[in-house]
Structure 1
Amino acid sequence: MDAAAALVERSGFEAVNMVAVAREAGVSRQTVYAHFGGRDELLSEAMVRVTQQVLGRIDARIADVPDASGYVVELIVAVRSECRRHPVLGALLIADRGSPLFDEELFVQAKPVAERFLVPLLAREPRLAARFGDVVEIILRSILSVLLFDSDTVRTDDDLRSFLRWSLIPVLGVAHDPVIDTRTN
C-alpha cells in the first residue's frame, strides 16, 4: 500500500498498476497479487489507509467547535487543509492523472463519509434534521468546489472561513456570530 501511495504521489493514479507497485515495493508481481486481487483493490485499500489518518486529524480539529455555523466552516477548512497537506489527497484533485474523484459514482460514495462528519452538526442545530439530506448535499458540493476551484478570494484559511460565513451559512439557515463575519462584499 505504501508503494501504491508513493506512485500516486509522484505520478498520479494512472501510474499505479501491479507491475509498477511490485517494482516500487521491491517484490514480485505475484506477491502483490497474493495480497490484493487487482489494481482497484490495492488503490482502494491504500486510499482507505491514508483517509483514515486524515479523517482522524479532521475529527480532532472540529470536535470542540460549539456552534453549527462554526462546525460547517471549520469542517470545510480542515478538509481543504488536509488535501493540501497530503500529496496523495492532492493527487485526487488532478483530473488528468486518473483521479477517482472524477468518477461518476463519486457523489454516491462520498455521501456516507460526509454524513459521518455532519451527524454532529445535528446536535449543534437540531432543526436541520428535517432536511439533513439536503444539508449533506449542499456541504458536500461546497467541499468539492473548494477543493477543485482555488482562487485569491479563498486562498488562506481565514479567507475561506470568511467566504463560507458570508455565502454558505445563510443558505443553510443556521445562526452564526456576526462578530466573526469580516466579509463585506
Structure 2
Amino acid sequence: MTSAPNRRADAQRSRASILDAAVQLLDADPTASVGSIAGAAGVTRQTVYAHFPSREHLLAAVLDHLTEETVAAMDAADLDTGPAADALVRLLDAARRTSGRYPVLLRELGSLPVDPHADSRRHAPVAERLERIIRRGQESGEFGDELPLDWLVAVTIKLGHTAAEEADAGRMSGDEAAKALNLSLFRVLGASRA
C-alpha cells in the first residue's frame, strides 16, 4: 500500500511533468491538445484533468509556472546590490530573457481573457521586487520621490508589457524595445542617469 506522502510526491511529479510538457508543446503549437500534452508528460489525459479540470485551468497554471520561473530569474540577478538603477536593469533583463524563451506561448496566453484578481496575484511577486528596488533608489537619491511608490511600480509593469507587445508585433526589435523601456522608466522614476 502506498503511503500518503508518496502519493503526494507522485502527484507533485505528475503536475510538474504536465506543466513542463505544456510549456514546451504550447510554445511550439498553441493549439496542442490535452492528449498531446499528456503523452509528452508521460501521463494519461485523466491525470491531466485530475490536476487541471479544464484547458483554461491548465493554461492559467502554465502562466503561473512561467511567472515563478521569471521571479526565480529576477532573484538570481542579485537585486539588492549595487545602484538601484543597475538592479532595475538586471531585473528587466532577467524578465526579458525568461519571456524570450517562450514567445509563441506568451503571445497566446496574452490573448486570453484576464481575471483581474488572478492577474494581480500573479504580478504580486514582481511588484514586490520592483517596490524594493524603487524604494531603495528613492532613499539613495537615485530616483525622484515626487510620485507615489505604488504608482511607479504599476507604471513599470505596464511599460514592461508595452515594450514586449511592441517587440512581439514587430514594430520594434527586442533591443529597441528594451532601450525604450529603460529610458522611459528612468524618466518616469526621475533617475539621475536618465
Q: Give the alignment's TM-score, normalised by structure 2.
A: 0.67
Is 1:8 the counterpart of 2:26? The answer is yes
Q: CA deviation at 1:135?
A: 0.3
Compute the displacement of 1:65 (Å).
4.5
| Cα displacement string for residues 54-101 of structure 1 (whole angstroms, at most 9, x for unaligned residues) | 3212222242552233333332232222211x22xx22442xx4x246
Stretches of 4+ aligned residues off by more than 4 angstroms: 127-130, 151-154
Judge conservation of contact 2:26–2:32 (CA < 8 Å) in 1: yes
Aligned to 1:33: 49
Contact 2:70 2:98 in 1 (8 A): yes
The structural deviation recorded for 1:154 is 5.8
Aligned residues: 167
The structural deviation recorded for 1:17 is 4.5
Q: Kindly state the Cα deviation for residue 166 of structure 1 after the two structures are TM-superposed.
A: 3.6
SS at match of 2:76: helix
1:147 aligned onto 2:164: yes
- Distance in 1, Cα, partners of 2:110 & 2:174: 25
Could you say what the CA RMSD is over the residues aligned between the two structures, in angstroms? 3.2
Q: Which has the higher contact order (CA 8 A, sep 6+)?
A: 1
Whether contact under 8 Å (1:69, 1:175) holds in the other structure is: no
AA aligned opposite 1:74 = R
Runs of at least 5 residues in structure 2 that lack an aligned partner in the other structure? 1-18
Change (3 A) 1:27 1:71: closer
Alpha-carbon contact 2:22-2:37 (below 8 Å) kept: yes
Which runs of no fewer than 5 residues in structure 1 stay unpaired? none
Task: Give the letter aligned to residue 103 of structure 1.
Answer: P
Spell out, residue by residue over 1:128-176, the C-alpha distance to the aligned partner (whole angstroms, 9 max, x if none). Answer: 496112101210111001111126876438x834x44543212221323
% identical aligned pairs: 23
Q: TM-score, length-normalised on structure 1?
A: 0.70
Aligned to 2:148: 131
Change (3 A) 1:47 1:30: same
Mapped to 1, the partners of 2:172 and 2:27 lie a distance apart of 27
Q: Does 1:114 align with 2:131?
A: no
CA contact (8 A) 1:111 1:136 kept: no
Q: Relative to structure 1, is the Cα distance of residues 171 and 54 closer, same or farther in structure 2, using a 3 angstrom cutoff?
A: closer
Counterpart selection for 2:113 from 96, 103, 106: 103
* Matched residue, 2:11: none
Query: Following TM superposition, by how much is the alpha carbon of 1:22 offset from its aligned partner in structure 2, in angstroms?
Result: 2.5
Structure 1 residue corresponding to 2:97, chosen from 81, 89, 95? 81
Q: Which amino acid counterpart does residue 91 of structure 1 have in structure 2?
A: V
1:72 to 64, 88, 94: 88
